[in-house]
Structure 1
Amino acid sequence: MSLNIENLYKTYGKKNVLNDISVNFQAEKIYGLLGNNGAGKSTLLNIINNRIFDTKGKITLDGRLVTENEKSLNNIHLMSEDDLYPSKLKIKSLFHLMEGFYGDFDWKLANEMLSEFELEPTKRMSKLSTGYRSIAKLIIALCVPCEYIFLDEPVLGLDANHRELFY
């Protein structure tokens, strides 16, 4: 399964954020996206995940356009610093929600990670520190059955011990 980005542009008003980006991602490989603050990394990831729209270009997964394509989008997951989950939801309920959305969830891994990170599954997202919210979102990202997992600022708020555990 191949994720292709061809001639992608994104502008906000007169400001060019992404200019003619083309890249090919292969499944089961790890990539790093490096750049200065404001270079457009998060913008690119949000476009790939259909959270925002490009100005021009094409993103395909196995030759099918990703935009407005539920089957393709269900193979892509973006973990970001954005708090997109209901804040009153308990962690375990959130995991069930993701299982329903993606059709599966790796409960064994999720429970192992909850234990390793000492994260209580009955806590509400709104009651978690920034670091523990990041951990909950990381667990989701690693437990959904997606071919492509994108992590944007995955260690935001994690202390040194939790960063080491994540790595």
Structure 2
Amino acid sequence: MTMDKLEIKNLNRNFKFGKQKVLKNINVSFLSNKIYGLFGENGAGKSTLMSIIADYNFPTSGEVLLDGENVHDNDNALSKIYYMNQNNMYPKNEKVAKTFKFVQSMYEGYDVNLQNKLVKEFQLNTKSRFNKLSTGYKSIMKIIIALCVPCEFIMLDEPTLGLDARNRDIFYRELIESYTDHPRTFVISTHIIEEIDKLVSDVVMINNGKIILNDSADNIRSKAYSINGPADLVDEYVHGLDIIGKESLGQYETGHIMGRLPEKEIPSGVEVNKMELQKLIVNLMDRSEGD
């Protein structure tokens, strides 16, 4: 099995004649057979980064390399990358079935059997024209294609846009099954962090165009804690630690910290719990906004 590496080096992207810096010196690698969560607020630069990786957009400086080769205008490298985004890349008036046939003709090894299974699971009417589909079913059509193309790197930008709870559940279940059957790399950008908390192996977080977190999910979870109890006891216990956020309710307080716990006894009445990934991301966003 080849071990592909998608590497983003010293990447910058400016808009509006160079006055607005959307991405600022991005350095990050996406490795084979992992599921990455790409998180950040609207406008943080996630979609821009994904579009540059897929060569839909171009950096002001820096480069995107796949196994050491620049992906720009590189058909061989780009054939290994698939980007599902919120823009409608497919003919608006074409029937879904015909669009599926077109994509099949573009990709040798496209999984038709999985496509047919997913069409039934999602109850997608393939006789419908793309522009007649609801927002959710437009997402479903794109999801089906993304799971069936034979690419090593699949980037999903808000894949569950417009999906109800039932169809989101199908998507996550089928994603895991597909990944288990044919390991490859998924990079998922979503605001519904709690739904992919247990799926992701690694976390990359962008805020104001910069990467502020890039680590394995297990490592992050091992050093992110929420400490709650009477405010005075919590303050005393977390003093000197890396506090990324606090919440107060009357005389009680929750302190969110990153790093090692202090080597001292936990005060009676104070609870220490592992922090949920969504809570961690939100607190890091808030702290970055305050910097």
Judge same fold: TM > 0.5, yes or no: yes
1:27 deviates by: 1.7
Return the letter of the residue paired with 1:55.
T
Partner of 2:27: 22
Q: Residue type of the partner of 2:156?
A: L
Count of aligned residue pairs for this structure pair: 167
* 1:54 matched to 2:59: yes
Matched, 1:120 2:96: no
The within-5 A match list for 1:124-143 is 124-143=129-148
Q: CA deviation at 1:28?
A: 1.3
Secondary structure, counterpart of 2:40 in structure 1: coil
- Identify which of 153, 159, 170 aligns with 1:165: 170
Structure richer in strand, relative to its length: 2
Partner of 1:108: 113
Deviation at 1:103, TM superposition (A): 2.3
Q: After superposition, give the CA deviation of every residue in 1:69-107 in whole Å (9 maximum; x if it has no partner).
A: 011111100101100100111112111211222223101
Distance 2:128 2:151 in 1: 26
User: Could you say which structure has the greater relative contact order, defined with CA pairs below 8 angstroms and 6 or more residues apart?
Assistant: 1
Say whether 1:93 aligns with 2:98: yes
Say if 2:15 is the partner of 1:7.
Answer: no
Equivalent in the alignment of 2:77: 72
Task: Work out whether 1:156 is the aligned partner of 2:140.
Answer: no
What pairs up with 1:33-44 in 2 under 5 angstroms?
33-44=38-49
The root-mean-square deviation of aligned C-alpha atoms, in Å, is 0.9
Rounded to whole Å, the distance in 1 between the matches of 2:92 and 2:22 is: 31
Aligned to 2:287: none
Structure 1 gap segments, 5+ residues each: none
Partner SS state of residue 110, structure 1: helix
Name stretches of at least 5 consecutive residues in structure 2 with no aligned partner.
173-291
Structure 2 length-normalised TM: 0.56
Q: After alignment, is 97-106 or 74-83 more displaced?
A: 97-106
> Residue 270 of structure 2 corresponds to which residue in structure 1?
none
CA-to-aligned-CA distance 1:105-150 (integer Å, 9 cap, x gap)? 1011111100001112221111100000000000000000000000
C-alpha separation in 2, matches of 1:27 and 1:82? 26
Q: TM-score, normalised to structure 1's length?
A: 0.97
